[in-house]
Amino acid sequence: MKKTGAQILCESLLAEGVDVMFGFPGGVLLPFYDTLPQYPQLRHILVRHEQGAAHAADGYARATGKVGVCMATSGPGATNLVTGIANAYLDSVPMVALTGQVARPFIGKDAFQEIDIAGITLPITKHSYVVMETESLAGIIKEAFYLARTGRPGPVLIDIPKDVMTDLADFKYPDTVDLPGYKVPTKGHPTQLKNAAELINKAQRPLIIAGRGVIISGASAELKQFAETAQIPVVTTLLGIGSFPGNHVLNYGMAGMHGTGYANKAIENTDLLIAIGMRFDDRVTGKVSAFARQAKIVHIDLDPAEIGKNVRVDVPIVGDVKAVLLTMHKMIASNQHMDWIRQLNEWRKEHPLLDIDDSAGLLPQYIIRQLYEATSGDAIIVTGVGQHQMWTAQHYAFHEPDSFITSGGLGTMGFGLPAAMGAKVGRPEKTVWVVDGDGSLQMTIQELATLVQDKINVKIAIINNGYLGMVRQWQELFYAKNYVATPLSCPDFVKIAEAYSIAGLRVTRREEVKGAIEQAMAHDGPFLIDFMVEPEENVFPMVPPGAANIEFMERPKKEVSSWPRRNTP
């Protein structure tokens, strides 16, 4: 039976298990939107800006582990997806981006809203397709979803001309994918596994640094078992947060530019660094020549291009993290490393992260801690980008994978609200909070309308300091407080929330924080809290630009609290 290209697209999406997509219509997409009511199983969420569609698909994918789907029309609609596609690419998020294109006879003639979106996105996708025959559409969709979800995940773009949507073709969805040049390694090389195990068994001061690859592989339980058997302390990258329980005795926090002092001292002093599912980006390494100078390095990663790219590696292991850890667990000895762990605990006491000054005003750190207490750590926390992002990473103890969703590689302001929207759609049973800044939120604030229209129950905490805070912090510390283009004249966010029919509160005092969070969580629907925090509070620790991680700057400490609560294995 022949079907139109639009019908084939819908049938193919259903065959891939797609239940929701985020999009914004346009002229060349009208055949698809005209067909969509025939497929009530496909939920379409109308965003207010295409960037929001890409970020929502990203948040959905991270929260669920499924492929996120977004759609935009040709020209500016397609180019508005670019930032979200790049964000997904750098953070290895499975996504399929569908774009409309002008009809085939007009391609290459500068037709209205024609743009070479496949060419534009070539460097930021795993693959890009332009569908030139309706007969090939189903096969392309099959390939696209396979590429997006397998190996190192990432975004794939499919550009579909309008007349491909309207033409008829026989439909049969393929059962398999044949991509001879695309091979996904799984098991590590036996010799390298043996070499790594020997180093681990001999090491006196071993340290694991875990990245997002652990979460992608579904290897959190295997990492915990591995670390506990060998009694190896664990630190994480920003995107590795949640891969290892935040309250575990072997968890020493995030490493890098805004990592804990004791995590960075551990890297400085380890004799064996076991890097798992991470890529040694500059925010983790600091000055590369001074990174882990005393250590041999074992690097486990699915993508061979990442091994040796930034940091020298003694034992490279190319393979799926879960498979590698399962194999290596059989090869490592049960160990103690009591002296090493005792030293790390001393550094933890000397460089406590979570200190709250009772004489200060409303501090962001206090808000994040109260949010953790209110949710008991059982929530999905999504952030924008800036100081609030780092405070959340430092001060909320994440115990499960996929519970912390943030923009890492691209550092995309405006990511938070639409990504939280996607996460809540994908995991409706979970409490979802977005912690955002007054600058970051305003980049995609129009998605408040989407929350209301589609009844998406996201709670919003604005850390409002009246500045582009992270840039202002750099200006304070390194540019003699020359605050150029960083002070913000912010709107009344509570009134804006009310204009969108969203309940809201403004909080100015510490004693109001707990009650406001509880009120938000009890409310049936979206809720916004505008926290008016200390304007010039800085994120510490901080590694200055160009410095070694061990040269971190710290905030003066007046009162030290024990946080987070730690459980025994």
DSSP string, 409-463: SS--TT-HHHHHHHHHHH-TTS-EEEEEEHHHHTTSGGGHHHHHHTT---EEEEE
Q: Give a three-class secondary structure readout of 180-241.
A: CCCCCCCCCCHHHHHHHHHHHHHCCCEEEEECHHHHHHCCHHHHHHHHHHHCCCEEECCCCC
Q: SS3 for 292? A: coil
Q: In the numeric block, which tokens belong to residue 340?
A: 């090493």
Give the length of the chain. Answer: 569
Vertex 109: Cα angle to 107 and 110 (nearest 5): 100
Q: Which of 38, 112, 518, 558 is catalytic?
A: 112
For the question of residue 343 being annotated catalytic, the response is no
Q: Which of 113, 225, 231, 446 is catalytic?
A: 113
For the question of residue 41 being annotated catalytic, the response is no
CA dist., res. 227 & res. 173, Å (int): 44
Say which residues have a Cβ less than 8 Å from residue 463's Cβ, sequence separation at least 6. 364, 367, 387, 388, 391, 435, 436, 437, 438, 469, 531, 533
Query: Which residue type, as a one-letter code, is found at position 323?
Result: A
Helix or strand (DSSP H, E) at 354? none
Q: Which of 162, 265, 322, 459 is catalytic?
A: 162
Report whether 527 contacts 503 (CB < 8 A).
yes
Report whether 475 contacts 468 (CB < 8 A).
no
Q: Report CA-CA distances (Å) from 23 to 48, 100, 275, 450.
A: 9, 11, 38, 11
DSSP string, 112-131: TT---HHHHTGGGSSEEEE-
| CA 170 to centroid of chain Cα atoms | 39
- Give the relative orientation of helices 137-149 and 5-15 as an angle to the nearest 10 degrees: 30
CA dist., res. 239 & res. 133, Å (int): 40
Q: Which of 71, 95, 421, 470 is catalytic?
A: 470
- b/e for 181-215, b at 16 or more Cβ within 10 A? eeeebeebeeebbebbbebbeebebbbbbbbbbbb
Q: In the numeric block, which tokens belong to residue 320?
A: 């799926």
For the question of residue 7 being annotated catalytic, the response is no
For the question of residue 162 being annotated catalytic, the response is yes
For the question of residue 50 being annotated catalytic, the response is yes
Return the bridge partners of 160, or none: 100
Instruction: Tell me the torsion sign for CA atoms 408, 410, 416, 419.
Output: negative
Q: SS3 for 481? A: coil
Q: Which of 11, 24, 32, 50 is catalytic?
A: 50
Q: In the numeric block, which tokens belong to residue 383?
A: 């952030």
Q: Which residues are catalytic?
A: 50, 112-113, 162, 470
